[in-house]
Structure 1
């Protein structure tokens, strides 16, 4: 083998050893996330909850809505892991089936809120002027209402159902996304390379989607994670008040309401759905805090 051929082979080996930038960035992100042990626990807890919500309903042996008055108020046992409620329904089965509903409301409402709030925030921040003033005043009006009261008013108008609860929580999430994206857009559009691209004749659409959008995604991801926790809590609160899921839907907030009248005689009816609401909300909150640190450029070394 000639020297030239040997050099070419060595260069080829070096090229093969070059790591994919995307893989490297994922590994770097995970490395920074591991520094926050609580965030890592929250991340794995979320993965477990999602997995259980998908495969759990196929593994339960009881019907979540099947009543058996002879088995009412049974405590936790080998047959009924979390006991039974006031109608003899297996609480463990209902929690497993309700997990997909609770997480589904959280993810769906945040996605809907982001799809509306992100364009509004970018338009407001990028164009400024009168458009910005009008949009921000409307956002301020929505923010003037406490989140649960705004969602409650919307559900009162639309009617009580899981779909309407999702819409109400999504509307409540829009102002938060819009304000965060507006602030990030105001900072991004002042960068020197954006001015240079605009001077070269780039259209607003190209600047927004290719240069502004990538710079504002990090706060969106963090905000979305934290809003899922808020969405789950709001949806559970609406169902607890009777404005969300309707009987016999196994939604955790509705289950909590069912056990409210039996706190002293059969406290397990309210304890287990309440415990899982706390677990979900806590997992997303601590994961969101760790995600903020992992995506913060100032934390990179």
Structure 2
């Protein structure tokens, strides 16, 4: 992490540095949400403050149920990051295993497996997620599993190609000739070379997972009320856009800023892992 920050400073990637700072703030808010606001503040109905304008007591105002928008945004960050982090983590591990094995071993089983991945990836990811949630029912767990399962083919296809290339490298062939088994070759000589790809794709997939989770929650397929989630907050308040726009703009801007920050950091990680991609020549 320190090396990455030093790289951003030395190469003047100020937008990526800003993205790192924004992500750090969102992570702090998500992790420390119970210290800033109680769960009751984010979920308790108080109709006396319904659609209250921003004030000293309510910096971002209140929603149609009189709940503090700041409290709901902070707890919403916790929910969104939890869903996105777990779904990408599960998909990354599963995709790495499937892609690695299918790239390292070329036989009928791996051929059929990759064709199955191709069949799944031919459908829009959000459509696959909707079908899975329809089967599992709405909720945080089903939302996480749906995003993870729909993302596995992306990672599997992404990792298979490099493994196909790496297993033919001279150092891998030499290790095999010295008696190294398949497990050692795969996990000691091939997989470590995918670290940069894993980190870069992981950051980009986090942004996609946050967007998919918010989109599904907007459709009512995510966490159910009164659980705060950015997409659900936008959906519940969209009828007040013209009269009290702050109840829609607050979660919308939070979602936009966080996804933008993830993409900026992803670009920085890509350049850090391969400086030639940015034309810096390793500067």
TM-score of the superposition, structure 2-length normalised? 0.93
Residue 200 of structure 1: aligned partner = 178
Residue 60 of structure 1: aligned partner = 37
| SS of residue matched to 1:243 | coil
| SS of residue matched to 1:287 | helix
Superposed displacement of residue 28, structure 1: 4.3
Instruction: Tell me, yes or no, if structure 1 residue 119 matches structure 2 residue 97.
Output: yes
Change (3 A) 1:28 1:55: closer
Residue 110 of structure 1: aligned partner = 88
Indicate if the aligned counterparts of 1:143 and 1:175 stay in contact, CA closer than 8 A.
yes
Measured in 2, the distance between the counterparts of 1:31 and 1:93 equals 34
Instruction: Tell me, yes or no, if structure 1 residue 249 matches structure 2 residue 231.
Output: no
Larger radius of gyration: 1
Provide Cα deviations, 1:209-248, integer angstroms capped at 9, x if missing partner: 1000111121111101000000011011111100111000
Measured in 1, the distance between the counterparts of 2:164 and 2:173 equals 13
Superposed displacement of residue 31, structure 1: 2.8
Measured in 1, the distance between the counterparts of 2:137 and 2:46 equals 30
Superposed displacement of residue 262, structure 1: 1.1
Indicate if the aligned counterparts of 1:33 and 1:291 stay in contact, CA closer than 8 A.
no
Alignment equivalent of 1:47, drawn from 1, 17, 24: 24
Instruction: Tell me, yes or no, if structure 1 residue 183 matches structure 2 residue 161.
Output: yes
Moved more, 131-140 or 119-128: 131-140
Residue 136 of structure 2: aligned partner = 158
Change (3 A) 1:80 1:29: closer
Q: CA RMSD in A?
A: 1.5
TM-score of the superposition, structure 1-length normalised? 0.88
Residue 30 of structure 1: aligned partner = 5
Alignment length (residue pairs): 276
Residue 150 of structure 2: aligned partner = 172
Residue 266 of structure 2: aligned partner = 288
Stretches of structure 2 lacking an aligned partner (at least 5 in a row): none
Moved more, 126-135 or 260-269: 126-135
Superposed displacement of residue 29, structure 1: 3.6
Indicate if the aligned counterparts of 1:126 and 1:189 stay in contact, CA closer than 8 A.
yes
Measured in 2, the distance between the counterparts of 1:158 and 1:40 equals 39
Superposed displacement of residue 101, structure 1: 0.7
Provide Cα deviations, 1:225-282, integer angstroms capped at 9, x if missing partner: 0000000110111111001110000111111111111111111111101111111111
Measured in 1, the distance between the counterparts of 2:275 and 2:169 equals 16
Change (3 A) 1:130 1:33: farther
Indicate if the aligned counterparts of 1:57 and 1:96 stay in contact, CA closer than 8 A.
no
The within-5 A match list for 1:217-228 is 217-228=195-206
